[in-house]
């Protein structure tokens, strides 16, 4: 009886793995640069030689680097059976082709140009302390981003796929992160407190119990929580998490999901490395031993500005 149950369980697992493989979203990395390219997924490192292609299922975040630094962190916007091709060129340049090409082009290029175009207006409204106009302008900017991605909202809806949720999350927090940055002309001003309270209540609060930084591209997400913690607002309550490894950031890290604690320590590693402060070695050790990060990936991140 036990043997039969174990056999049945084994068959179920095999079928499940087969189903995942058959339905998996695939990306093809094409190395058209003059250097070796590397792909990191689940802390495993794969090499893509010059003029070669490499295909991989995109179950999780996929990080592509050259021999020195990170080129791109690919987040999954693909539906089952969809495929994407990314060509890597010299000087860290890249191009997309395949399913969801427009979404990837906007998230990894177009959105930055649009955010830059709004900078002057945001700064102007921040300096004037014009909260109502700042909010109205930001909401119009969000509508424009949504149109570019054929979305109607950044909020999760009942029939959303995982890919759609990922796309909405990335858009929302790139947009919000920018607002927190340019609106912060004085971190303790009433104007900025009102900005944080408004966007937290409308956009962040609903995510807060599941808030995490699932990508190396999500530093904006922990920066948002860091800003909220520093404001010490009595109107905002944040979940408290176990601290993975005690550091000088414990007063902040207790409000950060494990993945966001990792992001904070990566930033500290990179900052101290560039400053030639020996403390970078401590953060590197913690990231390897306590967060299980690939040493090569940490070092490549440290070379990014």
The conformation of residue 94, written as its DSSP 8-state character, comes to E
In the beta sheet, which residues pair with residue 40? 45, 63
Distance CA 124, CA 140 (A): 16
CA dihedral 209, 214, 215, 217 (to 10 degrees): 0
CATH 2.60.40 correct for 2-99: yes
Element (H, E) at 17: helix 2-23
Distance CA 8, CA 28 (A): 35
CATH 2.60.40 maps onto the chain at 2-99
| Closest alpha carbon to 211 in 248, 263, 161, 159 | 263
pLDDT of res. 214: 75
Distance CA 9, CA 199 (A): 47
pLDDT one digit per residue (tens) for the chain, 305 residues: 455 555 555 554 444 444 344 457 899 999 999 999 999 998 899 999 999 999 998 766 799 999 988 999 999 999 998 999 999 999 989 999 999 999 999 999 988 888 888 888 998 998 899 999 999 999 999 999 999 999 999 999 999 999 999 999 999 999 998 888 887 766 568 889 999 999 999 999 999 999 988 766 667 888 899 999 988 888 899 999 999 999 999 999 999 999 999 999 999 999 999 999 999 999 999 999 999 999 999 998 877 65
């Amino acid at each position: 009886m036990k043997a039969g149950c174990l056999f049945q369980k084994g068959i179920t697992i095999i079928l499940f793995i087969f189903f995942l493989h058959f339905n998996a979203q695939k990306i093809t990395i094409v190395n058209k640069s003059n250097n070796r390219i590397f792909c990191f997924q689940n802390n495993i490192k794969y090499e893509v030689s010059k003029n070669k292609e490499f295909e991989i299922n995109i179950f999780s975040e996929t990080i592509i680097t050259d021999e020195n630094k990170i080129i791109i962190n690919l987040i999954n916007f693909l539906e089952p059976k969809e495929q994407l091709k990314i060509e890597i060129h010299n000087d860290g340049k890249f191009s997309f082709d395949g399913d969801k090409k427009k979404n990837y082009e906007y998230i990894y290029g177009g959105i930055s140009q649009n955010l830059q175009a709004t900078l002057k207006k945001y700064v102007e409204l921040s300096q004037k302390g014009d909260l109502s106009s700042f909010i109205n302008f930001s909401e119009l900017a969000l509508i424009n981003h949504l149109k570019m991605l054929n979305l109607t909202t950044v909020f999760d809806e009942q029939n959303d796929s995982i890919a759609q949720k990922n796309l909405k999350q990335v858009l929302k927090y790139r947009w919000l992160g920018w607002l927190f940055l340019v609106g912060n002309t004085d971190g303790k001003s009433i104007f900025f407190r009102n900005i944080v309270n408004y966007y937290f209540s409308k956009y962040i609060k609903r995510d807060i119990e599941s808030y995490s930084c699932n990508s190396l591209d999500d530093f904006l997400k922990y920066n948002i929580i860091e800003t909220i913690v520093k404001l010490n607002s009595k109107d905002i309550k944040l979940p408290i998490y176990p601290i993975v490894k005690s550091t000088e950031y414990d007063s902040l890290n207790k409000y950060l999901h494990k993945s966001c604690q990792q992001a904070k320590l990566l930033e500290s590693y990179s900052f101290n490395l560039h400053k030639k402060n020996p403390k970078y070695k401590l953060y590197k050790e913690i990231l390897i031993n306590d967060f299980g990060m690939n040493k090569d990936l940490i070092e490549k991140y440290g070379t990014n500005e």
